[in-house]
Homo-oligomer: A and B are copies of this chain.
Amino acid sequence: MAFKVTPYEVSGNVDYQKLIKEFGLKPLDSKTIEKLTKFTKETHFMLRRKIFIAHRDFNWILEEYKKGNKFFLYTGRGPSGNTHLGHLLPWIFTKWLYDKFKVDFWFQITDDEKFLFNPKLSLEDTNHFAHENALDIIALGFKPDRTKIVIDTECADIMYPLAIQVAKKVTFSVVKSVFGLQNDSNIGSIFYTSMQAVPAFMPSVLKGKVMPCLIPHGIDQDPHFRVTRDILPKLGYPKPASIQNVFFPSLTKSNKMSASMPETAVFTTDDPKTVKKKIGSALTGGRETLAEQKEKGGQPDICSVFKYYFFLFEMDDKKLEEQRQLCKKGKLMCGDCKAELINRINTFLESHQKKREEARKVLDEYLFKR
C-alpha cells in the first residue's frame, strides 16, 4: 500500500522501515541504545518499544558529550490547535534526556508555519494556540533555568536575521522536491523551513560557542531537518543530530492522530466525559460478539486501545505483555480494557491540567526574549 509522509501530509499505511530508507535515516539499533544506557543507566520504554526507531548522528552526540562537549535539546510544536497525546511522545522522551544529561532545552512553537500552511487559521489563532501549547510543555516538568520556549513571531528579532542566512542557501527547487511545494504555494510557506532551521544553531550564536544539537521529533518532521543539516555546515555549525519517533496511533482507522480531526485523538484539554466518549467509541481489535471474543480472543496488534497502553499508559513491559496475552486468549474484554484506559488517561489529565493552569503564572519565565 502506498503511503506518503511529509511535514504537511501523512497518508496511507506508513511502512516505517521503508520510510527510514527513503529518508536516509539510521535505524536505532541495540548498539546505539547500549551506548546511551551507559550515560542514562536505564533504557526508556520508548526505546525498548521502538517508539523511537531511527536517528541521525546520535552516536556523535554521545561521543561529544563524553568529551565534555554538551549538546542542547531542541524540539517543537506547530500550534494548529490544542495539544493531543501524540504530541507528548517526543516531549516526554526529551524530558527524560533533559533529566539524564542535564542539558539545555529549546522548544520552538511555529505559529508562523501553521498560519502560512493552513488557509483557515489566522495569525491570532496560531499565536493563541502557541501560548496554550506552551503550557503543556511546562506542565511536563521542564525547569525555567534550562528551558527556553521560542514562539517564532515573538522571537523574529533574533530569528529572522538568522533564518535569511539559511534561506540564502536554499533554492525553490529544494523545497519543491523536499516538501512538495508548488508554483501556487505561498511565498511564506516557501521561506518557512529557514525558520525551523534556526533553533538548531541559535543557541550557539547566542552563546558565541558552537554546540552540538540533538532534535527528538516525530518522523514526519525529518524533511525540515534534512534541509537544516545540508545548510548548517555552510554557516559554520555542525549538522544537528536527531532521533525520530513513530506516530501515535489514531483512535480511528487513520495512521496518525490529527488535531484537525478531534475524534481521532485525546487532547490534553479534554474533560473526563470527552475522554470516556472518545475511548468508548475507539477502534479495537475486539470481535463482533462477546461470545466470539471469549472463543477466538482479541487482536491487540490492531487495537487502538491497546496501542494507548503501549505508547503511554503501561510503561511496565511485563504488565503490558500480560495484558496482550490475556486479550489474545479471550480473557480480557474490550469494555474492561477501555474502562481501565479511561481511568488512566483521566488520572493523567487531571494532574496534567492542574500543572497546565499553574504554568500560566510562570509562562513568562520560559518565553525566550532577547
Which residues of A approach B to under 8 Å, CB–CB? Answer: 112, 115-116, 123, 153-154, 156-157, 159-161, 163-165, 167-176, 181-191, 193-194
Contact = CB atoms under 8 A, between A and B. Distances in A.
Given A123-B161, A153-B161, 11 more contacts: A112-B160, A115-B164, A115-B168, A154-B157, A156-B157, A156-B159, A168-B186, A168-B188, A172-B185, A173-B184, A188-B191
B153 A171 contact: no
A193 B191 CA distance: 12
Contacts of A190: 172, 187, 190-191
B183 A170 contact: no
Contacts of A115: 164, 168
B164 A188 contact: yes
**Pairs A-B, 6 closest by C-beta atoms:** A167-B188, A156-B160, A191-B191, A157-B157, A153-B161, A173-B183
A256 to B, nearest CB: 25
Contacts of A184: 171-173
B183 A191 contact: no
18 contacts: A112-B160, A112-B161, A115-B164, A115-B168, A116-B164, A156-B156, A159-B160, A167-B187, A168-B186, A168-B188, A171-B186, A172-B183, A172-B185, A172-B187, A173-B183, A174-B187, A187-B193, A187-B194
Contacts of A185: 171-172
Contacts of A182: 172
A182 B183 CA distance: 10
A107 to B, nearest CB: 19
Nearest to A155: B157
A186 B184 CA distance: 17
Nearest to A169: B186
A161 B187 CA distance: 14
Contacts of A163: 188
Contacts of A175: 187
A262 B332 CA distance: 84
Residue of A156, A159, A175 with most partner-chain B CB within 10 A: A156
Given A115-B164, A161-B123, A188-B164, A183 B156 contact: no
Contacts of A123: 161, 164-165
B167 A186 contact: yes
Contact of A170 (B168, B173, B186): B186
A164 B181 CA distance: 17
A194 B167 CA distance: 15
